[in-house]
Structure 1
Amino acid sequence: MTDLQYHYSGVSTFTKTKGINSLVLAHQTEIEAVNNIPCFFWGNLTDPYITAKCWSTIAKVVRSSFGPVPPSLRDPIVTAGTERIRFEGFSSCNGVYVRLDMKPESIDGEFIASGTTNVDFNDPMLNALNSIQKNEKVTLAVGQQDVQIITTKTKVVEKKVTLPTRWIKGLTSVQLYLADMDLQFELNKIQTIQLFQNLPKGTIKGDFFIAKRAGKFMFSTIATADAVRVGGLHRLRLLDGILAIADKVFIYESADKQTVAFVYEFGKMQLLMAFSPDAYRGFSGEGKALDQMTENLPSEWIYGLNSLLKANENFDPTLLSIEHDIDFDTMNQLTSSLSAIGLLGYDVMGRSHFYRQLPFKTERILSLNPRLKNAKKLIDEQQVKMVKKENDYIEAEVKGTGVLHKVVIDKQGYRCTCEWFTAYQGKRGICKHILAVKMVAGELE
């Protein structure tokens, strides 16, 4: 799949005039309606020092790689609306996800528009962020304005960046992992610093766990019932820049004890960093969204929600069902489908979804998963034969290359005789054969 080439109409700039720092983030999107919006937000940061530290951490994540993909600049996206601003990004290998949730009290300004856009994080701007001191004044603009309040001699040049398809695919799946997480540990500032002081040096191989013993948290190679597994432990060094300024740290773990997330609380904002099961595995390759993508989401539903919901607005399926007379089963399907294509994010602290409009066309998102396309191809070529279908049991045969695969779906889950399922046992999403059978048979009741 060819990566997307984006052209920014300008560059992000950071200037200082009469003691006031001004940051303007250049933006771009492939959605035409948003392209005409000159600016999403304009105003002041109420805690510029902590905000700058969090932005620097995001920049560190998007410029890092822990797998075979070489590190390169990947500009994050920003969702502005409902009195909040969220910055999101992935490492180049797609195995680390980071999000900064800026609460209403962290910003003082005007939301000119609501939406999501990717922004330019360039070297001069990052260097300036690192120089911000406490009690400085910083003005933030997400997007360029026609009439600049900021005086700058920076030459406006076109910047070309690459937005990888793995990045988009990861964004459509990571919230499914977050929604499956539960809180395991809560650490205060001292406990957090003590824990990270004992982080092993260098590239760490093998499984490590965070355990609590006598009120103290520690890293251990021993798995216990209450320990939290962290794959690719050396990736935690991405958090070094914010360890000393966080009020509290919350550690979440997925039900399968494979994926972990750290939430750093700063009072006016929160920074979440989630890690894939291992350093060599990215969120985009896990295929978790496939379970929810067996049916196409009608485009009129998306357009309807765009008119109902604002960016960052809390997505309450029960309330939406009641207010708009939508059947609960239909709303559950809609919630799953919207999550699977990235239009819903997930807040682990609030245990709720929030709405966003990705800066990519819906057709592009739906076309990114090869297993989904291959499953549809199996159906079109009539390679799926239903052997038995009962209320709680489905058995089918699917033709492969010189072999016939057996697929079974029941209340205990799903199984296939193909090499993919044998190798991963469903841990990296369902195979194309199971997906094709589910699409033909429909979900079990």
Structure 2
Amino acid sequence: MNDLLYKYQSVSTISKTKGINNLVMAHQTEIEEVNNIPCFFWGSLTEPYITAKCWSTIAKVVRSSFGPIPPSLRDPIVSAGAERMRFEGFSSCNGVYVRLDMKPEAIDGEFIASGTTNVDFNEPMLNALNAIQKNEKVTLAVGQHDVQVITTKAKVVEKKVTLPPRWIKGLTSVQLYLADMDKKFELNKIQTIQLFQTLPKGNVKGEFHITKRAGKFMFSTLETPDSVRIGGVHRLRLLEGILPIVDKIYFYESSDKETCAAVCEFGKMQLLMAFSPDAYRGFSGEGKALENMTENLPIEWVYGLNSLLKSNESFDPTMLSIENDIDFGTMENLTASLSSMGLLGYDIENRNHFYRRLPFKTERILSLNPRLKNAKKLIDNEDIQIITKRHNYIEANVKGTGVTHRVILDGENQHCTCDWFTTYQGKRGICKHILGVKMMGE
């Protein structure tokens, strides 16, 4: 992928005037109409100390790596609108996702515009945030509130950052993982402290589980029917900076017990951190999304939703189906496709989607699905031969390199004789052969 040039019109700064800390976050995006917005929000933080600690935790995540990929700067993304803000990002290794949901009570000010954009998290700003004390006052501007701030002396700061395809794909598909999770445990402050006191030291290999014994939560190598699996348990140390101020922690787990998430509750805001199955394995990007991308999404629908919905606004597929006369099954596929394109996020607590458009061009996101492109190529080259097709059952031969693969789709069960399917058994998404047959079948 080509380098993406970050053209911030200034750097994020924090200064102190008459005892009030003034934080101005510089922003940028690939989407021109959003990039031309000078300011998204201007106001004050009602819980500046907690907010600063959460921002510092986000900075730890986006600057960390737990796999072979070295850590590097990845600026967080902020969605502003619907009287709330959400900050989100990924670790460099793509295995840890973090999001801070700031509720309307956490911010007191004016939403001048809505949209999603990158924000500059530089070292001086982060150092100043770490110095914020309790009872201090902080104002926040996402963008330049006053155009007079930009003078002839203002310097355009360019950050040339190589954005790995897997990083962007993770941002698009992690919402599908969150939508598959259910709440398993609720811990109060004391239980949280007790749990983290049992966190193993060092980079521990192997699986660990959160279990509950006699009302007390602990980490254990033994799995029980109601335990929560934590792959790469040492990654939980990213939460240590906010444990002293957290009210509660909720642990969620996916239906296949592969992925999990921790939601830290602070009253006026929540910080979510989701973990891939293992430290060496990031969120599989396109794999989780491919099942729902077999139908091409008309670009007119994307433009229509963009004009209809605002950032952070709840996305209600049932109401949209009724109001726009769209079949419920089509809307289900549409919701998954929009999520895969980064147009939807997922609120794990309220169990609903919200609208947010990632600050990358749509064509950039769509180009990041090689298995989808390869499946379409199989169809275009007429490499797929349907042998049997009846209700909920398809059997087909798919031409490969010097070999013919057999694909069987039997209701929810699907099988392919290729090496990809044999190796991963569907854990990293379906192979291009199954995907191509499903597309032909539909």
Identity of aligned residues (%): 77
Shift in Å, 1:168? 1.1
Shift in Å, 1:324? 2.8
Contact 2:95 2:275 in 1 (8 A): yes
Q: TM-score, normalized by length of structure 2?
A: 0.97
User: Aligned ranges for residues 260-409 of structure 1 at < 5 Å?
Assistant: 260-285=260-285, 287-409=287-409
Secondary structure, counterpart of 1:243 in structure 2: helix
- Partner of 1:58 in structure 2? 58
Secondary structure, counterpart of 1:292 in structure 2: coil
- Partner of 2:159 in structure 1? 160
Read off the aligned partner of 1:380 and give its amino acid letter.
D
Q: Deviations over 1:323-366 (max 9, x none)?
A: 23333223222112111212111111001111111111212111
Read off the aligned partner of 2:413 and give its amino acid letter.
G
User: Partners of 1:102 and 1:285 in 2: how far apart?
Assistant: 26
User: Partners of 2:21 and 2:154 in 1: how far apart?
Assistant: 18
User: Partners of 2:68 and 2:168 in 1: how far apart?
Assistant: 18
Secondary structure, counterpart of 2:245 in structure 1: coil
Secondary structure, counterpart of 1:395 in structure 2: strand
Asked if residue 225 in structure 1 is aligned to residue 221 in structure 2, the reply is no
Shift in Å, 1:246? 0.7
Number of residues of Structure 1 aligned to a counterpart in Structure 2? 441
- Partner of 2:254 in structure 1? 254
Read off the aligned partner of 2:375 and give its amino acid letter.
A
Secondary structure, counterpart of 1:241 in structure 2: helix
Q: CA RMSD in A?
A: 1.6
Read off the aligned partner of 2:354 and give its amino acid letter.
F
Structure 1 residues 357 and 142, CA gap change in structure 2 (3 angstroms): same
Secondary structure, counterpart of 2:225 in structure 1: coil
Shift in Å, 1:143? 1.4
- Partner of 1:235 in structure 2? 235
Q: Deviations over 1:238-269 (max 9, x none)?
A: 00001111111000000000100000000000
Structure 1 residues 234 and 423, CA gap change in structure 2 (3 angstroms): same
User: Partners of 1:338 and 1:282 in 2: how far apart?
Assistant: 22
Shift in Å, 1:165? 2.3
Q: Deviations over 1:153-207 (max 9, x none)?
A: 9963413142332221001110100000000000000000110011111101000
- Partner of 2:83 in structure 1? 83
Secondary structure, counterpart of 2:294 in structure 1: coil
Contact 2:392 2:410 in 1 (8 A): yes
User: Partners of 2:187 and 2:398 in 1: how far apart?
Assistant: 50
Contact 2:169 2:286 in 1 (8 A): no
Shift in Å, 1:313? 0.5
User: Partners of 1:408 and 1:213 in 2: how far apart?
Assistant: 44
- Partner of 2:100 in structure 1? 100
User: Aligned ranges for residues 128-147 of structure 1 at < 5 Å?
Assistant: 128-147=128-147
Contact 1:37 1:113 in 2 (8 A): yes
User: Partners of 2:340 and 2:147 in 1: how far apart?
Assistant: 39
Shift in Å, 1:146? 4.5
User: Partners of 2:77 and 2:229 in 1: how far apart?
Assistant: 29
User: Partners of 2:4 and 2:277 in 1: how far apart?
Assistant: 27
Secondary structure, counterpart of 1:121 in structure 2: coil
User: Partners of 2:52 and 2:221 in 1: how far apart?
Assistant: 35
User: Aligned ranges for residues 150-189 of structure 1 at < 5 Å?
Assistant: 156-162=155-161, 163-189=163-189
Shift in Å, 1:147? 2.6
User: Aligned ranges for residues 183-202 of structure 1 at < 5 Å?
Assistant: 183-202=183-202
Shift in Å, 1:285? 4.2
Contact 1:12 1:26 in 2 (8 A): yes
Contact 1:3 1:165 in 2 (8 A): no
Contact 1:4 1:164 in 2 (8 A): no
User: Partners of 1:318 and 1:157 in 2: how far apart?
Assistant: 45
Shift in Å, 1:284? 4.0
User: Partners of 1:280 and 1:86 in 2: how far apart?
Assistant: 27
Contiguous gaps of at least 5 residues in structure 1 = none
User: Partners of 1:286 and 1:363 in 2: how far apart?
Assistant: 15
Contact 1:99 1:273 in 2 (8 A): yes
User: Partners of 1:73 and 1:401 in 2: how far apart?
Assistant: 40
Secondary structure, counterpart of 2:5 in structure 1: strand
Asked if residue 31 in structure 1 is aligned to residue 31 in structure 2, the reply is yes
Contact 1:263 1:272 in 2 (8 A): yes
Asked if residue 414 in structure 1 is aligned to residue 414 in structure 2, the reply is yes
Q: Deviations over 1:80-110 (max 9, x none)?
A: 0000000000000000000000000000011
Secondary structure, counterpart of 2:147 in structure 1: coil
Contact 2:172 2:285 in 1 (8 A): no
User: Partners of 2:143 and 2:68 in 1: how far apart?
Assistant: 33
User: Partners of 1:61 and 1:113 in 2: how far apart?
Assistant: 28
Bigger mean CA offset, 141-150 vs 111-120 = 141-150
Q: Deviations over 1:267-313 (max 9, x none)?
A: 00000000000011111446101111112211110111111111000
Secondary structure, counterpart of 1:40 in structure 2: strand
User: Partners of 2:148 and 2:314 in 1: how far apart?
Assistant: 33
Contact 2:173 2:285 in 1 (8 A): no
- Partner of 2:210 in structure 1? 210
Shift in Å, 1:417? 0.3
Contact 2:284 2:428 in 1 (8 A): no
